[in-house]
Structure 1
């Protein structure tokens, strides 16, 4: 007898806003995008995480902020 492994991940964009600075690759504007990740296991919510990503509006490169 086989039991199916049922797992679902949903990603939803919450908001976009202009961030300070410029892209080091092309010099375009930087945009901050907030995402909500929801993970479910057998229709039971397991985790809900909100993350912020930065990306360039011209070249669409994802930017990573390094803390010193």
Structure 2
């Protein structure tokens, strides 16, 4: 017997703002986008996750922030 679970992720943009620094690939401006993700299991919300993602405005690449200690 196989069971199949249906999980749906819904994401929406909360806001965007200019971030400091430049893109290392094309030297374009960087924008920070706040995203809220909602996971649902059969129409029942399971979890809410807030993330901040960084993108270049010229080349549209997703940028990853690495912390150096």
Post-superposition shift, 1:4? 4.9
- SS of the aligned residue for 1:67 comes to coil
Structure 2 equivalent of residue 43 of structure 1:
43
- What do you get for the CA RMSD once the two structures are aligned? 1.4
44-53 vs 1-10, greater mean Cα deviation: 1-10
- SS of the aligned residue for 1:58 comes to coil
The one-character-per-residue Cα deviations of 1:28-60 (angstroms, maximum 9, x if unpaired) are 000000000000111111000000000100000
Moved over 6 A (4+): none
Number of paired residues? 68
Classify 1:16/1:2 alpha carbon distance in 2 versus 1 (closer, same or farther; 3 Å): same
Structure 1: gaps spanning 5 or more residues: none
